[in-house]
Structure 1
Amino acid sequence: MTNGARRRMGVEERREQLIAVALGLFSHRAPEEVSIDEIAEAAGISRPLVYHYFPGKQSLYEAALRRAADELAARFVEPHEGPLGARLLRVMERFFDFVEEHGPGFSALMRGGPSIGAMEAAGSGRARAMIDGVRQAAYEQILAHLGVTGPAPRVELVVRSWISLAETTALIWLDSRAIPRGELERQLVHDFAALAAVSAAYDEEMAGLLGRVLADEPSDGPFGDLLTRLVALAPQPT
């Protein structure tokens, strides 16, 4: 390759490039540790040109958060085919793929997105809105898998509690990685079944929903695995 002039990018193409570069940097280091100079160098452009497309690091950081939020929400999209346990396991595998690929960026996103500079209050509000959007998208996807519209209060409680649990579990795992990732993915699927089962013990509608879900579950699937583990824990008759 010669040292000729670089190919000129259109405005949107350059913005997309800067967002991708920034997301890559923010995914591996805390945003306050990443400078505009580093972003410019990684993009192969000058510092003033970065400011031509984004007024400051805060706006570029928010654009990167938006990209991350959209990508994370997409990880919950799964075809409505086959047993629910297997579907949820695939969702958790993709969710933890994202967590592993974007560690510090995921932590920043889930914890409200640390803002930078004078825009701190407004930036924090926008970051919270982004993660709320991810949670809502995940919630709607799980309801769709359950075949539920207009969910009853206990169904909403189970699904939202499970999404919160998955988020908290991922954050704790990132801090130490003390438990193998695959075990946590399966455990979170088991957690969903456990939350639903406890709720079903108090509510006939939830019991009916859980019964329909379990009717399609194979004995060697994630939910069947949970039942086997629980039975093994029960005291044996003497």
Structure 2
Amino acid sequence: MRTRLSTQDRRRQLIAIGAELFASRPYEQVWIEEVAEIAQVSRGLLYHYFATKKDFFMAVVEVEVERLLRLTAPDPGLPLPLQLNAGLEAYLDYAQNHKIGFQLMHRSAINVDEEIRAIYDKTLATHERRIVAALGASNATAGIAVRGWLAFIESVCLDWLDNPDLTRDQVRDLCARTLLAAVGFQET
């Protein structure tokens, strides 16, 4: 039996279903018909909210990116190493809990579609701004080091998800040490 939901609640429901499906399977294996069936709505209603599967996927990606940014938001009241560890813990949680979606976003979708790439680039820029601000550095060297580190952490997480040879703590500590070394951070 169908449940009547407000427009906003229905959209949230569809995106939540999409997030679960895209996190568990590659893009090509997620079918709009299945999403509609799970939500107990017609395919036409789903297309009322999202004109295409790509539009649906982009909405899911945008919601997930907002979640990731919210989860990794720094606490400026903490010393830099603690901010970094908290952000890395949240990032690793996200990567583990949304493994397929994380891999899809970082391996294929960003290379295939300009609009998805724009979302990805905007997210990286937000991470970069946050980290540079936390470092209290505004020089070009810090920006380059942080951008390089963001590529490093992405690569490390993808490798770790495929081959969990290191413990989560080892991955976190490796990433933290690498950033602090790259920017020349010295604890006082």
TM-score of the aligned structures, taking structure 2 as reference length: 0.92
Counterpart of 1:20 in structure 2 is 16
Counterpart of 2:57 in structure 1 is 61
Counterpart of 2:129 in structure 1 is 140
Counterpart of 1:162 in structure 2 is 149
AA in 1 matched with 2:120: I
TM-align CA RMSD? 1.8
Structure with a larger share of its residues in helix: 2
The correspondence of residues 200-219 of structure 1 with structure 2, limited to 5 A, is 210-211=185-186, 214-215=187-188
Kindly provide the CA deviation profile for residues 127-170 of structure 1, in whole angstroms up to 9, marking residues without a partner as x: 0000101101101111221123xx21211111111111111111
AA in 2 matched with 1:142: I
Are the structure 2 counterparts of residues 172 and 109 from structure 1 closer, same or farther at C-alpha, using a change threshold of 3 Å? same
Deviation for aligned residue 1:82 = 2.9
Counterpart of 2:38 in structure 1 is 42
AA in 1 matched with 2:20: G
d(CA) in 2 for partners of 1:55, 1:181: 40
Are the structure 2 counterparts of residues 135 and 127 from structure 1 closer, same or farther at C-alpha, using a change threshold of 3 Å? same
Deviation for aligned residue 1:112 = 5.0
2:128–2:146 contact (8 Å) kept in structure 1: yes
Deviation for aligned residue 1:52 = 2.3
Kindly provide the CA deviation profile for residues 99-137 of structure 1, in whole angstroms up to 9, marking residues without a partner as x: 01111111122235279xxxxx7xx00000001011011
Counterpart of 1:81 in structure 2 is 77
TM-score of the aligned structures, taking structure 1 as reference length: 0.73
> Mind listing any 5+ residue stretches in structure 2 that lack a counterpart?
none
Aligned residues: 188
d(CA) in 1 for partners of 2:166, 2:3: 47
Deviation for aligned residue 1:83 = 2.3
The correspondence of residues 87-106 of structure 1 with structure 2, limited to 5 A, is 87-106=83-102
AA in 1 matched with 2:156: T
Query: Residue 190 in 1 paired to residue 177 in 2?
Result: yes
Identity of aligned pairs, percent?
Answer: 29
Are the structure 2 counterparts of residues 71 and 112 from structure 1 closer, same or farther at C-alpha, using a change threshold of 3 Å? farther
d(CA) in 1 for partners of 2:127, 2:166: 24
d(CA) in 2 for partners of 1:70, 1:170: 19
Higher Cα radius of gyration: 1
1:72–1:98 contact (8 Å) kept in structure 2: yes
- Three-state SS of the structure 2 residue aligned to 1:13 is helix
d(CA) in 2 for partners of 1:30, 1:7: 29
Structure 1 stretches (4+) deviating beyond 4 angstroms?
none
